Amino acid sequence: MSEEEIRFLPYEEALQIVAAIQEEEDIERPDHRILTVYNKDDREICWFDFEEVLSEVGPVDKSEEKDVVSDYILHHIPDWALEI
C-alpha cells in the first residue's frame, strides 16, 4: 500500500478559506504546542506541530516569527481542506 502524495492549495486559494491560525496546547501531549487552522465557518481545517514548523522556517527574528509561520502554513494547506 502506498501513501498518497499530499497536494497543497495555491497560496491565493488558501488565503480565501483560512480565517485564523491559533497556537494551542496539544491535549494529548502536555507542554507541546500545535498550530490549528480554522476556516471562515470557524471549523478546524488541519493542524501543524509548532516545533516542526519553526524548524522548517529556520531562525527568524522574534518580531517576524508570526508572519513567517503564517506564510509557511498558508503555503502548506492540503487540498482536501476545501472539502471541510
Q: Which residue has the cell 506541530?
A: 49
Arithmetic mean of pLDDT over the chain: 93
* DSSP letter, residue 17: H
Q: What is the pLDDT of residues 14-39, one digit of tens each?
A: 999 999 999 999 888 888 999 999 99
Domain boundaries, the chain: 11-83
Residue 52 has pLDDT above 90, yes or no: yes
3-state secondary structure 23-58: EEECCCCCCCEEEEEEECCCCEEEEEEHHHHHHHHC
